[in-house]
Amino acid sequence: MPCDIIIIGGGPAGLAFAGGLAGSGLRVTLVERLSLSSLADPADDGREIALTHRSVATLEALDAWRRIAPEAIAPLRAAHVLNGASPLALSFEPDAPAGQPLGWLVANHHIRRALFAAIDEQPGLTLIAGAQVAAARTDRDGASVTLEDGRVLRARLLVAADSRFSAIRAQLNIPAKVTRLGKSMLLARVEHDGDHQGIATEWFDHGQTIALLPLTGRRSSVVLTLPEDQIARLAALAAPALSAELTRRSDGRLGTMRVEGAAHVYPLATVWCRHFAAPRAALIGDAAVGMHPVTAHGFNLGLRGGATLAGLLVRAAARGQDIGAASLLRRYEAVHRFASAPLFLATGAIVGLFTDDRPPARLLRPALLHAAARVTPARAGISRLLMRH
Q: Is 172 in the site for ligand FAD (CB under 6 A)?
A: no
Q: Which of 144, 201, 250, 300 binds ligand FAD (CB under 6 A)?
A: 300
222 near ligand FAD, judged by CB under 6 A: no
Q: Check binding of 265 to ligand FAD (CB under 6 A).
A: no
Give the residue closest to ligand FAD by C-beta.
Answer: 11
Spatial distance between the Cα atoms of 233 and 211, rounded to a whole number of angstroms: 19
286 touches ligand FAD (CB under 6 A): yes
Q: Is residue 29 near ligand FAD by the rule CB under 6 A?
A: no
Treating both helix axes as pointing N-terminal to C-terminal, what angle do 326-354 and 298-318 enclose, rounded to 10 degrees? 170
Q: Is 306 in the site for ligand FAD (CB under 6 A)?
A: no
Stretch that binds ligand FAD, among 58-66, 195-203, 289-297, 316-324 (CB under 6 A): 289-297
What phi and psi, each to the nearest 5 degrees, are found at residue 142?
170, -170
User: Sign (positive/negative) of CA torsion 327, 333, 336, 341?
Assistant: negative
**Residue closer to ligand FAD (CB basis): 76 or 316:** 76
Residue 38: count other Cβ atoms within 10 Å of its Cβ: 16
User: Position 12: which residue type?
Assistant: P
Q: Which is nearer to ligand FAD, 32 or 202 (CB)?
A: 32
Which of 4, 7, 10, 323 touches ligand FAD by CB under 6 A?
A: 10
Choose which of 53, 219, 297, 336 interacts with ligand FAD (CB under 6 A): 297
Ramachandran assignment for 327, one of left (phi > 0), alpha (psi -120 to 50 degrees), beta (any other): alpha
DSSP per-residue codes, 150-196: S-EEEEEEEEE---TT-HHHHHTT--EEEEEEEEEEEEEEEEESS--
Q: Is 133 in the site for ligand FAD (CB under 6 A)?
A: yes
Query: What is the number of other CB atoms lying within 10 angstroms of the CB of residue 41?
Result: 12
Give the residue with the Cβ less far from ligand FAD, 108 or 208. 108
Stretch that binds ligand FAD, among 47-55, 92-100, 176-184, 226-234 (CB under 6 A): 47-55
**What's the rounded Cα separation, in Å, for the pair 183 and 224?**
10
Stretch binding ligand FAD (CB under 6 A), from 27-35, 307-315, 331-339, 380-388:
27-35
- Is residue 11 involved in binding ligand FAD (CB under 6 A)? yes
Min dist CB 277 to ligand FAD, Å, is 16
What is the distance between the terminal CA atoms of the chain, rounded to a whole angstrom?
39
Q: Which of 5, 7, 13, 278 binds ligand FAD (CB under 6 A)?
A: 13
Q: Shortest distance, CB of residue 364 to ligand FAD, whole angstroms?
A: 26
Question: 94 vs 316, which CB is nearer to ligand FAD?
Answer: 94
Closest of 308, 307, 313 to residue 325, by C-alpha: 313
User: In angstroms, what is the minimal distance from the CB of 336 to ligand FAD?
Assistant: 13
- For ligand FAD, the closer of residues 83 and 163 by Cβ is 163
Task: With contacts defined by CB under 6 A, name the span among 64-72, 115-123, 282-290, 318-326 that binds ligand FAD.
Answer: 282-290
Please give the angle made by the CA atoms of 65, 264 and 191, to the nearest 5 degrees: 75
H helix count then E strand count, the chain: 11, 19
- Does residue 47 interact with ligand FAD by CB under 6 A? yes
Q: How many CB atoms lie within 10 A of CB 220?
A: 28
Give the strand pairing for 28-32 and 3-8: parallel
Residue 367 exposed, middle or buried by CB count within 10 Å (0-12, 13-18, 19+): exposed
Instruction: Please name which of 165, 164, 170 lies closest in space to residue 136, comparing C-alpha atoms.
Output: 170
Site for ligand FAD contains 202 (CB under 6 A): no
DSSP state, 301? H
Q: Near ligand FAD by CB under 6 A, which window of 161-169, 194-202, 237-245, 327-335?
A: 161-169
Q: Using CB under 6 A, which of the segments 115-123, 150-158, 162-170, 270-278 binds ligand FAD?
A: 162-170
What is the binding site for ligand FAD (CB under 6 A)?
8-14, 31-34, 47, 49-50, 108, 132-133, 161-163, 167, 185, 187, 266, 285-287, 293, 296-300, 302
